[in-house]
Structure 1
Amino acid sequence: MDIRPIFKYYWPHLKKYKKSTFLVFASYSLAVVGSGMVAPILYKRIMDIVSGAEKSAVISTALINTVLFLGGALLLYNLFYRIADYAMTHSQSHMLKNVADDAFARVERHSYEFFSNTFTGTLVAKVRRYINAFETIQDQFVFTVWMNGLRLLFGLAVLSYFSLPLGIVLFIWLVLYVGITALFVKKKIEKDLLTAAANSRTTGVLSDAITNMLNIKMFASHKRELSYFTDATELEEKRRRDAGYFQNTQFLFQGYFIALFEFVGMFAAAHLWLNGLISAGTIILMQIYIFTSFEVVWNIGRNSAKVMRALAEAKEMVDIFEKPVAVKDPKNPEKCKISKGEIEIENISFLYGEEEGKGTAVFKRLSLHIASGEKVGLVGPSGAGKTTITKLLLRFADVQDGKILIDGQDISRITQNDLRSRIAYVPQDPILFHRTLRENISYARTGASKEEIIDAAKRSRAHEFIKGFLKGYDTYVGERGIRLSGGE
């Protein structure tokens, strides 16, 4: 899996908070120096003092001073941890908002046909997972890669300074462990991609069923839909179980490899101590770094699975970002001149489908003139293209040949927003936002006054039933307007 496209979309949000990000890495680095380097050395020093001489005033002073230094180190590195935590919270909360806003803007650019051919629930799930993946990847890079990497580096440096043979043992083990983990990770990515795709499918099927629950009840098709849903969950369960078993196998190898290192490391330390090559404090230092290394590499192993899953989930959304937008605004749009509404459709050809020649032909060299103020009804069988003409007028799709003019201006030469702001359109499906009646009525004119909203309701004969609601125009209509009757 090529992760470069993922970071192409994530990186701009990271760059906006360079100062906070620098503070995060700097503070965590200083904290790790204190907890992973200074404190263990002081513990070694304390052990060497305690085990190396009889009690005396000089020894007591050295011991007390070392303990005091240790206390100061504990206070300082905890302070740096907290500074980094606050900086991380500040920057990440803003980044997540920006990632979410950017994802919405990029998805919204796609054409009407894209949304018609995509499960709503699947798309929503992909957007949410893309946002969550950013947080997971950032957290894992900071806490797992950066901080744990520093712990291993400092541990290796300190241990090698006091005992080069023990440092070499630790280094060889780390190289072998990373190599084994890398082999597992490559295969794990493939399995996580399959799991993410199966999860998206299940979410889409569930969303589709809930959206059409009235039809399910109306046609008593509970068993059929349940079977359809269980097919999706069965595939998801199989993918998840397969990925989980593979991960457990990875942990099996890693666990025994860690146990082997603990035995070899402590055996080497004991041998060196018996030969007078290291002090008792160095054995303590070795033990500290053995357990630190265990914790670090085990966390890396477990969290690598989270990162791989997050990358797989982010890639689903990035694939949508990378998908060409079917209907685009011109690079240098003309100023919109639409005012009267004279429509001229000149020799247009149109077919549905992503690739011309492989779709369903609707129009072939169609021409039509509608004068300003003229009332026209389009009559024809289902699929004849009546609704398609309105979609082409609104540029929900573009013609493959010919052109459409309104008041003499080619609609492909102005922005989609300018075009649609000049057209009043009542769709076949009365879909409403889960907002108040007031907000839905004034959606096309957000600055409309209370009087204008009421006047519009009266003209559409909605004012009478709206008055009957307890909260009147401030009544929430429910998702897709479900709280209203069909007529309302």
Structure 2
Amino acid sequence: MKILKKFLQYYRPYRFLFYADMFCALIVSLVDLAFPLILDYLSKNVFIKDKTVILNSILYVGIALLALYVLKYFCQYFIASWGHIMGARMENNMRRDLFYHLQRMSFSYYDENNTGQMMSILVSDLFDISELAHHGPENVFISAVKIIGSFAVLMFINFRMTLILLAVTVIMVVFSFYENKKMQRIFFDNRKKMGNINSSVQDSLLGIRVVKSFANEGIERKKFDKNNNAYRISREKSYKVMGKFIAGNTFFEGLLYVVILVSGAFFIADGSLKIPDLAVYALYINIFINPIDILINFAEQFQKGFAGFKRFMSILSVEPEIVDKKDAVTLENVRGDIEYRNVSFSYNSEKQVLKNINLKIEAGKKIAFVGPSGGGKTTICSLLPRFYDVSSGSVMIDGKDVKDVTLESLRNSIGIVQQDVYLFSGTLKENIGYGKPEASDEKIIRAAKEANIHDYIMSLDNGYDTYVGERGVRLSGGQKQRISIARVFLENPPILILDEATSALDNESENFIQKSLEKLAKNRTTIVIAHRLSTIRNADEIIVIDDEGIKERGSHSELLKKGGLYAYYYNMQFEGLDVRE
């Protein structure tokens, strides 16, 4: 009922279209029900009279029937066109709600869920849901009107024969109910298997360069075939159940005709049923069975749409872990003082990554984190913009807990340059201006110059309007990194996080980009995560972190003199060089 209630909410903006669709469906049903009644009336009251009366009467009846079928034409047009338009608009609203909801989800959600499954829901599931949204109420309503209307007429023609008909129909309904239960489970499994195919294709195509570099096309084909065959098997199961469902209902339909023929013969024999009434009865049996056929054919569509909507709701029902408080304030006039107070953190219920971290960073200072992978350096930085929330303790900016300020103002105050740069499909100008879409061309060019990428961009045929390709595939690692730096220059945040921003670059690119980063870090509170220790020698403070927490802290020269963990790492990287500074 909860799922149904949520489904019905999407009809609210289109109440007029819905009621108009149902009204047209009622007209169509009544027109279909009227014809046998008119035929029955004519055969009993008109066709038994003389030629003149028949010819005069049939002209008016023909005009009236033509008018009814013209009306039915316009109603059928409305159902087929505007009914589908209503479904498409509902699909559009559902897709919008799902995408907006996914945008609100925190990093932890994407750590545990596959984007291929989400794409499957956004595209194929929602299409089936929109078809259900349109055809569901319409088919059920038309079928109900026809079944109830024809059943009432059948009861009036012969009460006892209609009770026999009702008994067969009840058995048919019970059979359909149990088969529908099986179909529901199988179609839900279909959706999951289809999502697995999408995931496989997405992973393989996004990583196509890695696939080809290892000549692993065969492995990817095996992975795809596994998911593809699993989907095929699931579909085959669904078709077997569908076959049993359709064949069973077809059998019961045939049984209805057998029952009517046999019982009709008995009732004619005992004089309780007239032969003309049996002919009309047979016409209404067709009207009675036709909506049952519609419902049988609709069953597959219903199960697909219902399974899709359950998957849709399974995502919408997940509340984002990280949201604004009701009384959250805007973070303004940021100086850049940062403090971690007794901060502990773990991913879900796993082993603690951070335990009782206490750290103060003064505004405008440059702090560097070094240490082995998995020690928690990136995690500490991720807690500052609330990509994750602390398990205990608090993270402060200018004395304000980051949980007490709006996410938008918090993240607009922090610029991040990462090792793995993501560029969106589009132009260089659009990618540089991603953080500030309203920025003028002049500001974008100025940011590119600050990042030392302007001259390269101008050397391209289309300059700033050059298309970068999917994920920036047409650019080198160093060029993508400078685009990322230009983004932050344009955003101009008071706090900067450099997460191993040069570790994947060659020495020439690193030196080039290091100058850009030094320029970017000027007069900003800067946190640097670095594996190349040569890039952080000028940091105001270097903090050594391992899986036990903060081990050492001090300037480059102080830590070298101490001869501890930092000196060990430094000498490993620069063995043979002068390290007396």
* TM-score, normalisation: structure 1: 0.91
Q: Give me the whole-angstrom Cα distance separating, in 2, the residues matched to 1:143 and 1:121.
A: 33
Q: Give me the whole-angstrom Cα distance separating, in 2, the residues matched to 1:338 and 1:323.
A: 34
Q: Deviations over 1:34-83 (max 9, x none)?
A: 22x21221233345568x53642123323333323222221222233334
Asked whether 1:264 is paired with 2:291, we answer no
Q: Give me the whole-angstrom Cα distance separating, in 2, the residues matched to 1:472 and 1:276.
A: 94
Q: CA deviation at 1:399?
A: 0.6
Between 477-486 and 119-128, the greater mean CA deviation after superposition: 477-486
Maintained 8 Å contact 2:117/2:192: no
| 1:203 match | 198
Maintained 8 Å contact 2:83/2:134: no
| 2:395 match | 404
Distance change >3 Å, CA 476–CA 290, structure 1 → 2: farther
| 2:169 match | 174
Paired amino acid for 1:255: T
| 1:81 match | 76
Q: Give me the whole-angstrom Cα distance separating, in 2, the residues matched to 1:46 and 1:448.
A: 78
| 2:470 match | 479
Q: CA deviation at 1:13?
A: 2.1
Paired amino acid for 2:58: L
| 1:248 match | 243
| 1:70 match | 65
Asked whether 1:6 is paired with 2:9, we answer no
Match of 1:124 among 112, 119, 128: 119
Maintained 8 Å contact 1:343/1:370: yes
Match of 1:461 among 443, 452, 455: 452
Secondary structure of 1:383's partner?
Answer: coil
Q: Give me the whole-angstrom Cα distance separating, in 1, the residues matched to 2:278 and 2:109.
A: 64
- In the TM superposition, 1:16-415 aligns within 5 A as 16-35=13-32, 37-48=33-44, 53=48, 55-272=50-267, 277-278=272-273, 281-337=276-332, 339-353=334-348, 358-415=349-406
Structure 1 stretches of 5 or more lacking a match? none
Q: Deviations over 1:149-172 (max 9, x none)?
A: 111111112232333344334433
Paired amino acid for 2:342: N
Q: Deviations over 1:447-487 (max 9, x none)?
A: 10011111112222222332344433223322222233333
Secondary structure of 1:487's partner?
Answer: helix
Q: Give me the whole-angstrom Cα distance separating, in 1, the residues matched to 2:462 and 2:159.
A: 78
Q: CA deviation at 1:255?
A: 1.6
More strand by share: 2
Match of 2:410 among 409, 416, 419: 419
Q: Give me the whole-angstrom Cα distance separating, in 1, the residues matched to 2:421 and 2:93.
A: 32
Q: Give me the whole-angstrom Cα distance separating, in 1, the residues matched to 2:449 and 2:4.
A: 52
Q: CA deviation at 1:97?
A: 2.0
Between 221-230 and 371-380, the greater mean CA deviation after superposition: 221-230
Q: CA deviation at 1:364?
A: 0.5
Secondary structure of 2:294's partner?
Answer: helix
Maintained 8 Å contact 2:190/2:231: yes
Maintained 8 Å contact 2:445/2:454: yes
Aligned residues: 479
Q: CA deviation at 1:283?
A: 3.6
Between 461-470 and 16-25, the greater mean CA deviation after superposition: 461-470
Q: Give me the whole-angstrom Cα distance separating, in 1, the residues matched to 2:461 and 2:268.
A: 84
Q: CA deviation at 1:279?
A: 5.4
Secondary structure of 2:319's partner?
Answer: coil
Secondary structure of 1:426's partner?
Answer: strand
Paired amino acid for 1:398: D
Distance change >3 Å, CA 61–CA 283, structure 1 → 2: farther
Q: Deviations over 1:292-324 (max 9, x none)?
A: 333321221232122122212221232222223
Distance change >3 Å, CA 314–CA 89, structure 1 → 2: closer
Distance change >3 Å, CA 216–CA 5, structure 1 → 2: farther
Maintained 8 Å contact 2:21/2:138: no
Paired amino acid for 2:413: R
Q: CA deviation at 1:147?
A: 1.1
Q: Give me the whole-angstrom Cα distance separating, in 2, the residues matched to 1:467 and 1:174.
A: 77
Match of 1:444 among 435, 438, 444: 435
Paired amino acid for 1:59: I
Asked whether 1:15 is paired with 2:15, we answer no
Maintained 8 Å contact 2:84/2:131: no
Q: CA deviation at 1:410?
A: 0.6
Paired amino acid for 2:113: T
Maintained 8 Å contact 2:87/2:134: no
* TM-score, normalisation: structure 2: 0.77
Paired amino acid for 2:336: G
Between 267-276 and 228-237, the greater mean CA deviation after superposition: 267-276
Maintained 8 Å contact 2:161/2:263: yes
Maintained 8 Å contact 1:347/1:402: yes
Maintained 8 Å contact 1:119/1:208: no
Secondary structure of 2:368's partner?
Answer: coil
Indicate the structure whose relative CO is greater, using CA pairs within 8 Å and at least 6 residues apart. Answer: 1
Distance change >3 Å, CA 475–CA 169, structure 1 → 2: farther
Structure 2 stretches of 5 or more lacking a match? 480-581
Between 387-396 and 197-206, the greater mean CA deviation after superposition: 197-206
Maintained 8 Å contact 1:192/1:312: yes
Paired amino acid for 2:454: H
Q: Deviations over 1:360-379 (max 9, x none)?
A: 32111111221111122211
Secondary structure of 2:176's partner?
Answer: helix
Q: Give me the whole-angstrom Cα distance separating, in 1, the residues matched to 2:329 and 2:217.
A: 53
Paired amino acid for 1:177: M
Q: Give me the whole-angstrom Cα distance separating, in 1, the residues matched to 2:340 and 2:125.
A: 42
Paired amino acid for 1:43: L
Q: Give me the whole-angstrom Cα distance separating, in 2, the residues matched to 1:7 and 1:17.
A: 17
Paired amino acid for 1:45: Y
Distance change >3 Å, CA 471–CA 9, structure 1 → 2: farther
